[in-house]
Amino acid sequence: MTSRLARALLWLPLVACGDDGPPPQPETPQFGSATPEELVLAMTLEEKVDQMHGSSLAAVDDLFLTPDNARLGIPGFRMVDGPRGVRAGRATAFPVAMARGASFDPELERRVGRAIGREAAARGANVILAPTINILRHPAWGRAQETYGEDTTHIGAMGVAFIEGAQEHVLASAKHFACNSIEDTRFDVDVTIDERTLREVYLPHFRRAVVDAKVGSVMSAYNQVNGHYASENAHLIRDILKGEWAFDGFVESDWVFGTRSTVAAANAGLDIEMPAATYFGPWLVEAVQAGEVDEAVIDEAATRVVRKKVELGASMTPQLDPDVIESAEHLALAREAARAGMVLLKNEGALPLARAAGTLVVVGELATVANLGDQGSSGVTPTSPVSPLEGIEAAAAPLSVVYIAGPSLTAADEATLAAADAVVVVVGLTFEDEGEALFNVGGDRDTLSLHEEDEALIGAVAALSDNTVVVLEAGSALVVRPFIDDVEALLMAWYPGTEGGNALADVLFGDAEPGGRLPISFPADEADLPPFDHESLEVSYGFLHGYRHLDAIGRAPELPFGFGLSYTTFSLSDPSVSPGSLDAVGSVTVSVTVTNDGPRSGSEVVQLYVRVVGSEVERAPRDLRGFGRITLEPGASGVVEIELSAADLAIWKDGGWQLEPAAYFLEIGTSARDLAFELPLTIGG
């Protein structure tokens, strides 16, 4: 590592590469009119290799650069994080991806992706280092908040929407490819995984990012997969990504420590070493000259990189526009997305809060904090983030609001609480508890429980008030068993972004519905989940996790995947499948009627799971294969239609995708544990 450090230090000052060649000749092809192939053909070996690494270890104006080629007029990339907004100066901090995953609303996510892409371009970037589409294998994963949930079908739908929106302005980078679901050991851990689990559980959403959304770039993970670092994993990059999926973009490494070799990485298909050359650059030129890397490998990588630049065209050049950043439109979208992701986990009539003369007591230190989540690479710095207390105070009239910080309560506090009309307790985690592992902050969680003092505070408040609403903030699941029975309402707010306090008030007072459904299972007990080892450097990823694991071991979750209450009620009727059978290359449409039979307008998320009986291989008891969201006025009905293709049912067997002869059943409902209907699906009949 020492020599690597020395190599890295070479790049500390910004090195301008490839811009000192001879002045353009009349016959020299130029960016803007030449094809990628023509441009690469005109390059020297050194120039091609210059397309394959970043410019400096440190960001410049918060952007990570790759070199320009002045001779051919090819601009470099200007990359910026990340998944919940632009990590450069001030920007709109959207709710974390897990909160947006809870919306189960790809159209909303497309708008968020578009807004983040637009802000990235307005900051002068042309690549956004997002979305994170790693599977939440265990909720203790420190970076849980950056991804959309635990299920591949759901992550795929949300990731595709984000990418399509963002790529209206910049290139997106789907990350971290692949099997990156542990933080503390991320640089070294070797994930052992069988081919079927890889193909069916950890990769399908990446495939959709490539095939459906045509993502421009893919970032390799830090970790190893079956003994090879992801950045030099030929099976992942060459066989699957570039081979089977015909990915036409480029693969960039994750940042420092993301690239581990010169020859192996280049030959495996890594196209760009970020953020600076420590293995590529001059060492890659030498490897080509020594015959260890064929120049055709360099040509391929340079062509991939230049192709995406040519496709971006004029958008490669910075289009600075300060008016776009934190525009009123983007702040309104952040508020909408926060509301849409809040999940009502329990409600015994306490919500929505009545706006009548009286006293609302807000409790908890986090009530005064705009709790935005991780401060690592996904951190965003907004100008005026709104805390829960600020949001509630602005919306509460004619209620008067009293604030008690806690966690310990004085006698006067107890009297105030006992006399209150309603109490809202805001508790949860912060960037110190979970997130990207940075200098003893963040990292993986040791427990899924709340802090002891938070649990004690909830208990003390609930004993004094019979109208206690608890608002939870965290990036993924919490064990709520110790207090859920004691409180009248429980609302999961995640890390709700810059407008989180206003969005929370909208939901608490019923100006908006809590739109979310859980994109992950909340276990009753942590022991019900597969083990999460964030210390060992060797970890095995099994076929089952999340609801698939809980169903398989017959343990009821505390709160199931897909679950979330509304302020109204819905009923499902008339399920049908059309046509009545599915042939091996076809698709069917599954329909169900949803009726809002409650008192106010609201949204329901219908979920389609597939159950297979008589399989020859291990199966999850059910797999989500589609979902649809519908918003209905009171008394109204509408039909949700979900497409299901034969490919959605295939399993990886004997080196290929196969539709197993077995009995297939379609389960339709509103969570993994609330399945109103089951329809048999005939295959090939």
Q: Which residues bind ligand BGC (CB under 6 A)?
A: 81-82, 129, 175, 254-255, 377
We find the least distance from the C-beta atom of residue 516 to ligand BGC, in angstroms, to be: 24
Report the residue number, 45 or 59, with the smaller CB distance to ligand BGC: 59
Closest residue to bound ligand BGC by CB:
377
Q: How far apart are CA 50 and CA 67, in angstroms?
A: 7
Report the residue number, 189 or 644, with the smaller CB distance to ligand BGC: 189
627-653 burial, b for 16+ CB within 10 Å, e for fewer? bbbbebeeeeeeebebebebebbbbbe
Report the residue number, 377 or 568, with the smaller CB distance to ligand BGC: 377
We find the least distance from the C-beta atom of residue 436 to ligand BGC, in angstroms, to be: 6
We find the least distance from the C-beta atom of residue 620 to ligand BGC, in angstroms, to be: 29
We find the least distance from the C-beta atom of residue 254 to ligand BGC, in angstroms, to be: 5
Q: How far apart are CA 185 and CA 180, in angstroms?
A: 10
Token pair for 252: 């960039």
We find the least distance from the C-beta atom of residue 162 to ligand BGC, in angstroms, to be: 15
Dihedrals phi, psi of 48, to nearest 5 degrees: -65, -45
By C-alpha distance, which of 129, 161, 117 is closest to 324?
A: 117
**Could you write out the DSSP letters of every residue in 363-430?**
ESGGGGS------STT--B-SS---HHHHHHHH-TTEEEEEE--SS--HHHHHHHHH-SEEEEEEE--
Q: How far apart are CA 233 and CA 421, in angstroms?
A: 60
We find the least distance from the C-beta atom of residue 302 to ligand BGC, in angstroms, to be: 22
By C-alpha distance, which of 506, 566, 114 is closest to 339?
A: 506
SS3 label, residue 88 = coil
We find the least distance from the C-beta atom of residue 137 to ligand BGC, in angstroms, to be: 17
Look-up of token digits 């060492």: 283
Q: How far apart are CA 487 and CA 455, in angstroms?
A: 12
Q: How far apart are CA 317 and CA 312, in angstroms?
A: 9
Report the residue number, 221 or 285, with the smaller CB distance to ligand BGC: 221
Report the residue number, 174 or 417, with the smaller CB distance to ligand BGC: 174
Specify whether the CB–CB gap between 492 and 472 falls below 8 A.
Answer: yes
Q: Which of 254, 413, 506, 551 is catalytic?
A: 254
We find the least distance from the C-beta atom of residue 129 to ligand BGC, in angstroms, to be: 4
> Checking DSSP bridges between strand 489-492 and strand 171-177, what pairing results, if any?
unpaired
**254 belongs to the catalytic site:** yes
Report the residue number, 109 or 254, with the smaller CB distance to ligand BGC: 254
By C-alpha distance, which of 661, 519, 413 is closest to 136?
A: 519
Specify whether the CB–CB gap between 380 and 91 falls below 8 A.
Answer: yes
We find the least distance from the C-beta atom of residue 78 to ligand BGC, in angstroms, to be: 13
Specify whether the CB–CB gap between 312 and 126 falls below 8 A.
Answer: yes
Which DSSP state fits 254? -
Report the residue number, 150 or 436, with the smaller CB distance to ligand BGC: 436
Q: Give the DSSP H or E segment for 49.
A: helix 45-50
Going from the C-alpha of 599 to that of each of 336, 365, 393, the distances in angstroms are 22, 35, 27
Q: Give the DSSP H or E segment for 2.
A: helix 2-9
> Checking DSSP bridges between strand 358-363 and strand 399-404, what pairing results, if any?
parallel
Report the residue number, 233 or 566, with the smaller CB distance to ligand BGC: 233
Cβ-proximal residues to 214 (8 Å cutoff; 6+ apart), any chain: 163, 167, 248, 249
Which DSSP state fits 25? P
We find the least distance from the C-beta atom of residue 82 to ligand BGC, in angstroms, to be: 6
Identify any residues that bridge with 611 across adjacent strands, giving them in sequence order.
Answer: 665
Token pair for 395: 């919306």
Report the residue number, 133 or 668, with the smaller CB distance to ligand BGC: 133
Specify whether the CB–CB gap between 625 and 593 falls below 8 A.
Answer: no
Report the residue number, 167 or 377, with the smaller CB distance to ligand BGC: 377
Residues carrying an active site annotation: 254
